[in-house]
Structure 1
Amino acid sequence: MKIRSSVCALIIKDDQILTIKKQDKDKFEYILPGGGQEFGETLLDALHREVREEVGAGIKNTRLLFVREYIGKNHEHSERDEGLHIVSHMFSCEIEEENKYQLELDHDQVGVEWIKIGEQPNYNFYPKELITHLKKLDIERSFETYIGDVN
């Protein structure tokens, strides 16, 4: 199996976090907008594309906040995700233009939903560990860590 590179958008507005609502059998799961990086695509290009597709919006003020690894065999959905190894780049960003683009929902995506920060434990929110890091985060004081496709 190969390691997959992906991006996620952490969009916070009025003490709420934007999530993608997905149907998983008999329950809902909530994740950040995002997905896989395509060959030849920069992380920022992938981020813009994924938010356009899943949220229907443009974004601005992007900043890399976290890098997360997900090795499926080590987590609660190991029977489903055993062959997955994903390196996910989590960017903070802001909505620039809402409803500008046509939604291209994933097969299990049922909508987009804002969740009040601090209420994620009441939802099936993934990644769960992000909640701990959000409490410690000061986006305004973080510094630029992604410099893009440079030589």
Structure 2
Amino acid sequence: MTKPIRNSAKAVIVQDGRLLVIRVEDQYGTAYIFPGGGQDKYEELKDTVLRECLEEIGQAVTVGDLMHIREYIGKNHEFAEWDADYHQVEFYFACSLNDPTATNYEGSNPDNHQVGVEWIAFEDLSKVRLYPKKIGEMLLAQDSSKIYLGDLN
């Protein structure tokens, strides 16, 4: 039996030329992902972002406009060995921290592979393993023209 398609809502938090990301460790080393996660039944996507940010970065956010929609179809990517039957539709929202001076980023329920929360300067985005890479490139180029990005990493 195949898994159902999963919706996920993500926060794009930019402040002072930096992007707030979750640091994860996997078998390839360090990678960075956007805060956020799976939508619960009866939960609006904006509420998913709010909940997930509290769980992963320990901070309340103001959820703004939808920036991008990205699909992740596991069988088409480098993680196909264990993710082949996984299909997720991700909604990326522009967000801001309710407390922009916050220094404590300890969430109540971090992701399984999460080892930290970091600010990455835009000029360093191309030097790290960021998923999805395309959204980092678009942020760097100040290109928000394309909302639906399709299946990419």
CA distance in 2, matches of 1:102, 1:17: 17
Given that 1:118 and 1:131 are in contact with CA atoms closer than 8 Å, whether structure 2 keeps it comes out as no
Q: 1:57 aligns with which of 53, 59, 75?
A: 59
Match of 2:93 in 1: 91
Matched, 1:31 2:33: yes
TM-score (norm 1): 0.84
- Mapped partners of 2:105, 2:25: distance in 1: 25
Return closer, same or farther for 1:67/1:101 CA change in 2, 3 Å cut-off. same
Instruction: Please report the TM-score for the alignment, with normalisation by the length of structure 2.
Output: 0.83
Aligned partner of 2:128 in structure 1 is 123
- 1:62 & 1:112 partners in 2: Cα distance? 21
CA RMSD between the two structures: 2.0
SS at match of 2:98: strand
Percentage of matched positions with identical amino acids: 39
Q: CA deviation at 1:12?
A: 0.3
Name structure 2 gaps, 5 residues minimum: 146-153
- Which residue in 2 is equivalent to 1:75? 77
Q: Which residue of 1 is the match for residue 150 of structure 2?
A: none
- Paired with 1:61 and 1:2, the residues of 2 have a C-alpha distance of 27
Which residues of structure 1 form unaligned runs of 5+?
143-151
**Equivalent in the alignment of 1:145:** none
The C-alpha deviation readout for 1:77-117, integer Å capped at 9, x for no partner, is 11121111100000011000344985322221111001011
The SS at the match of 1:48 is: helix
